[in-house]
Structure formats: structure tokens, C-alpha cells
Structure 1
Amino acid sequence: MLGDMMVDESARARPSAGLRPYVAHYAGWRQRGVPVVTHRGLPSPYLTLVLTLDDPLVVHAHPDRRQTPGSYGALVGGLHLAPALIAHGGRQAGVQVAVHPLGCRALFGLPAGELAGLDLDLAELLGVAEVERWRARLRAARSWPERFAALDRALLARSRRHETGVHPDISHAFRRLLGAGGRLAVRDLAGEVGWSPRHLTDRFRAETGLGLKQAARVIRFDRARRRLAPGAPLARVAAETGFCDQAHLTREFRALAGCSPSRWLADEFTFVQDRPAAGAHHDRHG
């Protein structure tokens, strides 16, 4: 019977050119009949926007453990330094949008710093009616390209409503950190823009939600975990992504993911979207 069939599909795409200053990529997934597990939503250089297509997203524990567990038809999450713990009951479908922190003002009308460490129901920012219109359009679409195109149109419309300005020195610092894989000293960044390290760090944190050293740490971690795969030598991954050695990478994994790299691989590779060969992954909530 169809209801008993296993479904495990994923897709990934870049946004249209007009959205690329604000959105890094889209990832879609549909799963049914897969193992029931708890998924770790890991720290990432991007904010997370998730719109589900059927069952809600159930968050057992938020990055800020003071937040009450909850379920969401649509969620937006700020930058964070601890994992979210998400229930995967064997059936789930949705679209995840990786939102550039420098695009948060354009899309949501506020700096990413105001969302730091938080998960919010998207309706708190956009209103229930707009969120439900978005979800209805996604459900009505017949393919992943159609769903991504529908999101393109919705997000482009929002970007025209708000002031998009981020101080150019903050934009420069973030893009330099991202391009360098987090391997850039704060004093060097401050020297490039002519600010003191403390002033640049304070302004950067207010805009993005992370300090410069924290952002560099998350970027390095994110780059390393994207290179992990079963059988990949941890020492080589550590060397390629700016860690002192394998032990350093393992310590960072325990601090930011709440588990060792080997445990994360064993858990997450039940999700096809986290496999490099699939070309799609979930930074946080999928």
C-alpha cells in the first residue's frame, strides 16, 4: 500500500539573483517511513527559516534551553552556539531557507542580532495570514523547483518592504570571515575597516547575534562538519578546516553539537539530505 511505502527525497537550489544578497540556498525534503530519531540542529553561519508541508516541526530543546519546547508549522531561528534537538517521527516534509544574517533586515525588518539564540514562530514576524499563504503555495506546487520559485517570489516581495542597509564595515567583516573559513584574526579585520577590535566586535554582535570570534568559530565548525562523511579521516578534515588537530576538532564538536563527530555521523546519516552525495543538507531544523 502507498501509505506503507518508504519515501526519502531531497532537493537543493540557489535563490534567484535578486535574493542572493539575502539568501544562501534552499533545501527541500520529504520523508516517510524512515527511522524515528532525534535530529541535532547545528550552529551555522546562516539563520534558519523552515516551512513545513505537513506535520509540524517538533523542537524538544532549543539552543537557548530557557525556551519552552514547542511545535511549529513555520519557524525562524537566529544564529546560535548550541544544538537544537528536533523530533523526527519518521514522517516529515518541508523547505529550509538559509538566510544570510546581513539579509535579516531586508526580509524580516530587524537585525539578526535580535534573533540570536532564539527560535520563533514565523507568524510572530510575518503574521499568521502571510505564513499560511506561503505554506499553501508550497503545498500546491508540484515539484521542488516550483516550490523554490514560489519562495523566491514571496521573499523578493518582502525584501522590497524594508530598509536593507547594514553598515558596510560589518558587511565587509562578515564576508571576509566567511570567505576565509573563519581563519582571520579579529585585529586584522579591525585594521581593514579602521575600527578598534572591541568596537567592531560590539557592532558585529548587535547586527548578527555573534561576536567576531564566535562567528569565526561557527564558520570553521560548519565548514568541518560539511566535509565529514563515514570513513573520512578526522585528522585530515581538521587540518583542512583550520583546527590545530583532530582532538581540537573533536572538542569543538562536543561543545557546539553536544556529541562527538562519530556520534553525529552515526545519527545524521540516516537523513539523506545530510549526505554529501545528495547535494542537500539541513543546517539546523530539517
Structure 2
Amino acid sequence: MRSTESERDGPAAWDVARPLRPGRVVGADMAGFGVPGQLGGGLRVVPHPAVMLILEVGASRAVVDDGEGRQHRGSVVAGPGFGSGGAARAWGAQVECVQVRLSPVVARTVLGESPADLAGAMVVLGDLWGREASRAREQLGEASSWEERFALTDALLARRRGGRSPVDPEVAWAWDRIVVSRGLVRVGRLADELGWSRKRLWSRFHSQIGMPPKRAARLVRFDQAAHRLVAGVGVAEVASAGGYFDQSHLHRDVMTYTGLTPATVAGEPFLTVDDTAWPDSRRRP
């Protein structure tokens, strides 16, 4: 048995699957995507405050254009905020994949690479994992159901987590406070509560999470605002509740991350599918 629903993206019907039970790696969430048709026109990648790991299944390969003239094929991994500016797009036909959202707090223990080394960019998974990436693709392709694919992915993540060192507990705490506050906590307050200088917090956080705390808060705040727009909340209310100075401030932020106006971003497929694929995404990036 599996939890699936379909979403519409123009002519293509998305088959979206969710695991029936939580995985073993705290901070890792996964969903399965199947697009039997064509991702016509390319699918815009909307930035998210997590490390994105895409494990391809089957013979068909999607292509991701990172917006800077590079194209990536096969299984890939991208740092938090990948897609900023709205130029990154994905396309393909008969695509199936397991997508994993990794909290930046646990990403290093699973990937063997710090989010700081990814710097918001995308790399081919084989460049990080070598032959293990190919073996994972083969195993996922041989699985007969989404639930079996989720079990294989969970085992892979748990095995790779191993004994690698996590981020500093103070940095993990600061990240959690940013997420729980929906990006509205002030960096100075975080430093004061930790008993750290702002310079020390900036340095440790940046080196381990992959971006400064202020930028992380801004990305989390954008993510919250974007999903409220998708839910049909008015721009004025989203701006007020999201800690923006005014609607113009929200407009500039949305344009910076997506290249779209707030009214247009509400219809982006990568966002509209989220309530099905990531039902807890707005609470725990």
C-alpha cells in the first residue's frame, strides 16, 4: 500500500507518493514523483530552505538547467536556496524519482559534504558518491513499488549517516529557532541567547549551514510566504503576517527568489504540489 495522489501540471499528471511511516534519519523527508507525460516548457525550480537530493528511478533521465549555463542529468543534489532568480528549470518525459529534503543540520552526515560546499548550487550525485550513486539508481529501478523505493532510500540515508560529525549543537539550535519562528527571529537575539558574539554566530552558522543566519531567515520567511500565497491568502495579509515592511517588500523578495510576481508564483507547480508531497514542509524545512 502507498499514499498517492495526482496533481495536474498542464498535460502531465503527477503521481505523488508519500511514505507510510517515518524514516530513521531525523531531518530527512521524502516523496516520490512520477510524471508519465512531458514536463512541457520546463518546470521552474523554486528555492527551498533544505538540501534537495533527487534520486532518479528507471531509464528516463530528467535534465536540470541551473540557470547559469550548466545542465545536469541523472541524480543530483542542490544546496539550500538553489533556483534563486527563477532561471533554474527541469524538464523530461516519463520521469520518476525519489526526492529527499534534508535539513541543512543533517545534510553533512548523509551526503559527506557540507551544505557550505554546495553554496546553493547543484552537483551530480555521482561526483559526491561515486559508484554508490549508480547502485542506488539500479536498486530503485528494480523496486516494484514506491514503498519499496522509500525503504531502500531510508536504508541508504541511515547507512550513509554513519558516525560523521553533525553540526555544532549551538548551530543546530539556531537553525531550529529560525525555522520555528518562520524566519522572523532576529539574528542578534539568537547570538544573545547563545551567549555568542554576532561574528561568532555568523562564522559558525555560515560554515556549517551554507549561508549566514540572516540569509537563512530570509529564505525561510520567503518559503512561508510563498506557500501562503499558494493557499490563496491575499498579498497584503501575507506581507503583514510574514514580517515584511509592506507589499512592495514582499514583491521584491518574491521576485528575487523566483523572478515572478506574488500573484504569479501562487500557481507554480513545485509549490502547488507541496501540500500533497510535503504536508509538514511549512513547519519543518
Q: TM-score range by the shorter chain?
A: 0.7 to 0.9
1:93 equivalent among 84, 92, 96:
96
Who is 2:137 aligned against?
A: 135
Who is 2:17 aligned against?
A: 11
15 and 123 in structure 1: CA distance in 2 versus 1, 3 angstrom threshold: farther
Who is 1:183 aligned against?
A: 184
Question: Partner of 1:48: helix, strand, or coil?
Answer: strand
Within 5 Å, give how 1:1-286 maps onto structure 2: 7-13=13-19, 16=22, 18-20=24-26, 22-23=27-28, 25-34=29-38, 36-53=40-57, 54-62=59-67, 65=68, 68-80=69-81, 82=84, 83=86, 85-127=88-130, 129-160=131-162, 162-229=163-230, 231-266=232-267, 268-269=268-269, 274-275=272-273, 278-280=276-278
The 8 Å contact of residues 234 and 246 in structure 1, kept in 2 or not, is answered as yes
Q: How many residues align?
A: 267
Structure-2 separation of matches of 1:37 and 1:17: 34
104 and 280 in structure 1: CA distance in 2 versus 1, 3 angstrom threshold: closer
15 and 234 in structure 1: CA distance in 2 versus 1, 3 angstrom threshold: farther
Structure-2 separation of matches of 1:8 and 1:187: 43
Instruction: State the AA in 2 paired with 1:31.
Output: V
Structure-1 separation of matches of 2:39 and 2:231: 19
Instruction: State the AA in 1 paired with 2:276.
Output: A
Question: Partner of 2:266: helix, strand, or coil?
Answer: helix
What displacement does 1:33 show? Answer: 2.5
Question: Partner of 1:94: helix, strand, or coil?
Answer: strand
Structure-2 separation of matches of 1:10 and 1:80: 23
The 8 Å contact of residues 32 and 90 in structure 1, kept in 2 or not, is answered as yes
**Deviation digits for residues 117-157 of structure 1, max 9, x if unmatched?**
22111111111x21122112222222222211110011101
TM value normalised by structure 1: 0.84
Structure-2 separation of matches of 1:236 and 1:44: 21
Structure-1 separation of matches of 2:175 and 2:64: 29
The 8 Å contact of residues 8 and 34 in structure 1, kept in 2 or not, is answered as no
Q: Percent identity?
A: 31
What displacement does 1:244 show? Answer: 2.8
- Structure 2: 5+ residue stretches without partners: 1-10
- Structure 1: 5+ residue stretches without partners: none
Structure-2 separation of matches of 1:277 and 1:195: 37
Question: Partner of 1:157: helix, strand, or coil?
Answer: helix
The 8 Å contact of residues 44 and 90 in structure 2, kept in 1 or not, is answered as no
The 8 Å contact of residues 59 and 84 in structure 1, kept in 2 or not, is answered as no
TM value normalised by structure 2: 0.84
Structure-1 separation of matches of 2:218 and 2:30: 24
Question: Partner of 1:259: helix, strand, or coil?
Answer: coil
What displacement does 1:70 show? Answer: 1.6
The 8 Å contact of residues 52 and 100 in structure 2, kept in 1 or not, is answered as yes
The 8 Å contact of residues 43 and 89 in structure 2, kept in 1 or not, is answered as yes
Instruction: State the AA in 2 paired with 1:102.
Output: V
What is the aligned-residue RMSD (CA, Å)? 2.4
Question: Partner of 2:88: helix, strand, or coil?
Answer: strand
**Deviation digits for residues 6-57 of structure 1, max 9, x if unmatched?**
642112348745301x41x112111122550222222221001001224223
The 8 Å contact of residues 76 and 119 in structure 1, kept in 2 or not, is answered as yes
The runs of 4+ residues in structure 1 deviating greater than 4 Å are: none
Question: Partner of 1:37: helix, strand, or coil?
Answer: coil
The 8 Å contact of residues 31 and 277 in structure 2, kept in 1 or not, is answered as no
